[in-house]
């Protein structure tokens, strides 16, 4: 007898052997049958949960291949500055937070983007709003923090403080810190003084984030752990796993700074189970476009002295990938600018040619973002079996900035069609909290090359658009292949895990512009309903 039957549905399986069906039958956490509703109904018994989908679209459970999960859980509790059009709006939002804060309490926020503002952020602007509170506000890409004078004083940062390696402290004409800190080593000067939430609080916030992910149709994610978060996220995921509350399949990356410890313990990629496992070792090649720290082959438009920041040199990347491979892990490298992407391709290509055949890894190498790639490099990922882990949702907020800072080079920004047509495997994610966690916004951006307001007309470099089916595969089979688990995840196929999502509308039938309005009607994880839309 089956446990769960989804029937009267339009089931898009992402399985070329049987692309469409009417019903799905599940037992003991697995899909046991896919086909016509009448034939599967005979498998049901008195204890079977029957769900009449009312003709709605059923997809494999969606996976976000790039989430800073713990950072997202924390940021959800901070002051949101996303979409604010100018400094006046920021002031209003922060003034409300000041009024509600305890004396001397740190005010933390995130999501600002000064690329559309008439004035640039400075410590003095925050001082006028919160003179008695230390303030730290992360830019939307998290690669730059904006702080006030009180925070500078607590951190002991002065004009004499040197720029940390591979990072920059913003300064005024006199050399005094102006409140901007770009890249991780600079940000750490401030962050180490911010009181962290306790473990119990973090556990509660992470559990809320898991529930939100289910509500958005996600049944899996690739956790992009960073040095500043330490091992906390993995400990918390394990606690949720033990309590039976981890209703996501989590591919947990390891920060490169922890490779020595992981290797000493004999840990390797794939360690764990199909609910929580170790994935790739994560490193950074450069910064971010919006912060103008992405490493470029040529300077930024209008900034002849700025070609970004190389966070990890090519020599260091090579020694890292060799050590990572010897320890039994594949690499995941953040690369946004065309110089950084090329450097990572050079290193990964050399590794594949000289060492890859002798090193049996359970997962392919991956490059995170591949935001701007030089036209000469478009075929190199497929040549070496490197996966492009990309975030289509960024396009909706970044296309104007890309045109401004990269000019005509932006033609190969988010070059999804060009990469796919050259045989590159794609895996889609959000980069939350840098962008919204909702995967439907990513599907919309990949299909339309527009923001939610429908701009630019006709789509930004519309030749790079994907089909709905291709975009869905980016959130299903794409991440499954990247985890080495395509034999059990990513499609609605008998024998695979019963991770399913039912949408309120059929993405194949509605206008692409309406995709952001689609909601999740039901999410099933391991054959159990973990979210249902309220009537």
Separation between Cα atoms, residue 167 and residue 288, nearest integer Å: 12
Q: What is the DSSP letter of 3?
A: S
Residues 49 and 125 in one domain: no
* pLDDT(230) > 60: no
Predicted structure pTM score:
0.90
**Beta-bridge partner residues of 387:** 366
Residue 196 to residues 135, 166, 202, 254: CA-CA distances in angstroms?
15, 25, 9, 21
Average pLDDT of span 122-145: 91
Residues 306 and 158 in one domain: no
What is the signed CA dihedral for 206, 452, 534, 509, rounded to 10 degrees?
-120
What six digits make up the tokens of 331? Answer: 């690499």
Give residues with Cβ within 8 angstroms of 49, minimum separation 6.
3, 4, 5, 529
Separation between Cα atoms, residue 170 and residue 147, nearest integer Å: 11
Residue 218 to residues 27, 147, 248: CA-CA distances in angstroms?
20, 34, 7
**Tens of pLDDT, residues 277-313:** 999 999 999 999 988 999 999 999 999 999 999 999 9
* pLDDT(226) > 60: no
Q: What confidence category does residue 228 fall into, taking pLDDT thresholds of 50, 70 and 90?
A: very low
Separation between Cα atoms, residue 290 and residue 141, nearest integer Å: 7
Q: Dmax of the chain from CA atoms?
A: 79
Residues 176 and 202 in one domain: no
Q: Answer whether residue 328 is part of any domain.
A: yes
**Beta-bridge partner residues of 144:** 182
Q: Which residue has the higher pLDDT, 269 or 115?
A: 269
Residues 94 and 225 in one domain: no
Contact status, residue 307 vs residue 348, Cβ threshold 8 Å: no
pLDDT at residue 229 in the model? 56
- Answer left, alpha or beta for residue 103, where phi above 0 means left and psi between -120 and 50 means alpha: beta
Residues 242 and 131 in one domain: no
Q: Is the dihedral of CA 303, 399, 395, 397 positive or negative?
A: positive
C-alpha closest to that of 11 among 50, 44, 60 = 60
Average confidence score pLDDT of the chain? 94
Q: Answer whether residue 176 is part of any domain.
A: yes
C-alpha closest to that of 469 among 509, 413, 430 = 509
Q: Answer whether residue 74 is part of any domain.
A: no
Contact status, residue 189 vs residue 170, Cβ threshold 8 Å: no
Domain region containing 15: 4-61+499-505+515-532
* pLDDT(227) > 50: no
Q: Answer whether residue 355 is part of any domain.
A: yes
Question: How many degrees, rounded to 5, is the angle at CA 84 between CA 182 and CA 446?
Answer: 80
- Answer left, alpha or beta for residue 54, where phi above 0 means left and psi between -120 and 50 means alpha: left
pLDDT at residue 116 in the model? 76
* pLDDT(231) > 60: yes
Q: Answer whether residue 76 is part of any domain.
A: no
* pLDDT(158) > 80: yes
* pLDDT(196) > 90: no
Structure-token match 């190498």, residue found: 365
Residues 204 and 306 in one domain: yes
Q: What is the CATH number of the domain that holds 256?
A: 3.20.20.140
What six digits make up the tokens of 347? Answer: 């290193």
**Tens of pLDDT, residues 427-454:** 999 999 989 999 999 999 999 999 999 9
CA atoms within 13 Å, Cβ hemisphere of 481: 19
CB atoms within 10 A of CB 73: 25
Q: What is the CATH number of the domain that holds 110?
A: 3.10.310.70
Separation between Cα atoms, residue 433 and residue 108, nearest integer Å: 14
Q: What is the DSSP letter of 520?
A: E
Residues 108 and 167 in one domain: yes
CA 313 to chain centre: 24
pLDDT at residue 256 in the model? 93
CA 230 to chain centre: 18
Concatenate the DSSP letters of all residues of 117-183 into one string.
Answer: -SS---HHHHHHH-TTS-EEEEETTSSEEEE-HHHHHHHT--TTPPPPTT-EEEE-TTS-EEEEEES
**Domains in the chain, number:** 3
Q: Answer whether residue 189 is part of any domain.
A: no
Q: Phi/psi at 448 (nearest 5 deg)? A: -105, -25
Q: How far from each other are the two terminal CA atoms of the chain, in whole angstroms?
A: 29
% residues pLDDT > 90 (the chain): 84
Residues 103 and 135 in one domain: yes
Residues 159 and 274 in one domain: no
Average pLDDT of span 340-344: 98
Q: What confidence category does residue 76 fall into, taking pLDDT thresholds of 50, 70 and 90?
A: confident
Residues 336 and 475 in one domain: yes
Laid out side by side, the sheet with 249-255 consists of 62-67, 218-223, 249-255, 276-284, 331-335, 366-369, 387-390, 426-428
Contact status, residue 282 vs residue 332, Cβ threshold 8 Å: yes
Separation between Cα atoms, residue 197 and residue 106, nearest integer Å: 12
Q: Answer whether residue 56 is part of any domain.
A: yes
Structure-token match 């607590």, residue found: 154
Average pLDDT of span 366-388: 98
Residues 176 and 212 in one domain: no
Residues 340 and 441 in one domain: yes
Residue 385 to residues 202, 281, 351, 425, 491: CA-CA distances in angstroms?
37, 17, 12, 8, 21
- SS3 (DSSP) at 407: helix
Last residue of a domain, one of 130, 158, 182: 182
CA 332 to chain centre: 13
Q: What is the CATH number of the domain that holds 21?
A: 2.30.40.10
Question: How many degrees, rounded to 5, is the angle at CA 260 between CA 427 and CA 203?
Answer: 60
Pairing of β 57-60 and β 500-503: antiparallel
- Answer left, alpha or beta for residue 61, where phi above 0 means left and psi between -120 and 50 means alpha: beta
Range with the lowest mean pLDDT among 83-92, 243-252, 332-341, 504-513?
83-92
């Amino acid at each position: 007898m089956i446990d769960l039957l989804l029937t009267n549905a339009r089931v898009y399986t992402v399985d070329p052997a049987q692309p469409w069906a009417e019903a799905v039958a599940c037992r003991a956490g697995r899909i046991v049958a896919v086909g016509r509703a009448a034939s599967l109904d005979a498998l049901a018994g008195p204890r079977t949960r029957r769900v009449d989908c009312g003709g709605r679209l059923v997809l494999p459970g969606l996976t976000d291949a790039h989430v800073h999960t713990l950072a997202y859980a924390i940021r959800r509790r901070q002051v949101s500055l996303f979409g604010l059009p100018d400094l006046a709006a920021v002031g209003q939002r922060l003034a409300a937070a000041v009024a509600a804060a305890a004396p001397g309490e740190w005010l933390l926020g995130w999501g600002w983007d000064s690329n559309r503002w008439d004035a640039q952020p400075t410590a003095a602007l925050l001082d006028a709003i919160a003179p008695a509170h230390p303030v730290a506000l992360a830019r939307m890409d998290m690669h730059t923090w904006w702080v006030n004078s009180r925070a500078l004083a607590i951190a002991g940062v002065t004009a004499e403080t040197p720029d940390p390696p591979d990072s920059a402290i913003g300064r005024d004409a006199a050399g005094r810190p102006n409140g901007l800190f770009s890249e991780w080593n600079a940000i750490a000067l401030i962050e180490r003084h911010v009181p962290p939430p306790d473990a119990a609080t973090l556990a509660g916030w992470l559990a809320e984030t898991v529930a939100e992910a289910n509500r958005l149709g996600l049944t899996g994610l690739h956790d992009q752990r960073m040095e500043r978060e330490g091992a906390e996220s993995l400990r918390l995921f394990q606690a949720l796993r033990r309590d039976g509350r981890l209703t996501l399949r989590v591919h947990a990356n390891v920060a490169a700074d922890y490779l020595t410890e992981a290797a000493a313990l004999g840990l390797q990629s794939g360690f764990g189970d199909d609910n929580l496992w170790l994935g790739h070792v994560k490193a950074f090649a450069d910064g971010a476009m919006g912060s103008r720290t992405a490493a470029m082959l040529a300077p930024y438009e209008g900034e002849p002295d700025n070609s970004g920041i190389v966070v990890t040199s090519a020599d260091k990347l090579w020694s890292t990938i060799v050590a990572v491979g010897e320890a039994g892990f594949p690499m995941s490298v953040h690369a946004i600018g065309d110089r950084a992407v090329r450097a990572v391709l050079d290193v990964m290509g050399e590794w594949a040619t000289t060492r890859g055949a002798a090193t049996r890894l359970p997962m392919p190498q991956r490059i995170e973002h591949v935001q701007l790639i030089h036209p000469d490099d478009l075929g190199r990922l497929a040549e070496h079996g490197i996966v492009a882990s990309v975030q289509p949702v960024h396009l909706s907020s970044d296309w104007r900035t890309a045109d401004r800072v990269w000019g005509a080079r932006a033609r190969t920004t988010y070059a999804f069609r060009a990469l796919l047509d050259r045989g590159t495997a794609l895996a889609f994610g959000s980069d939350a909290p840098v962008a919204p966690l909702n995967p439907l916004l990513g599907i919309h951006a990949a299909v339309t090359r527009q923001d939610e307001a429908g701009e630019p007309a006709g789509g930004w470099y519309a030749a790079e658009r994907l089909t709905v089916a291709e975009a869905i595969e980016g959130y299903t089979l794409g991440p499954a292949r990247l985890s080495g688990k395509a034999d059990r995840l990513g499609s609605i196929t008998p024998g695979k895990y019963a991770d399913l999502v039912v949408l309120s509308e059929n993405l194949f039938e509605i206008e692409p512009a309406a995709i952001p309005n689609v909601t999740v009607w039901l999410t099933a994880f391991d054959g159990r309903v973990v979210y249902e839309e309220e009537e």
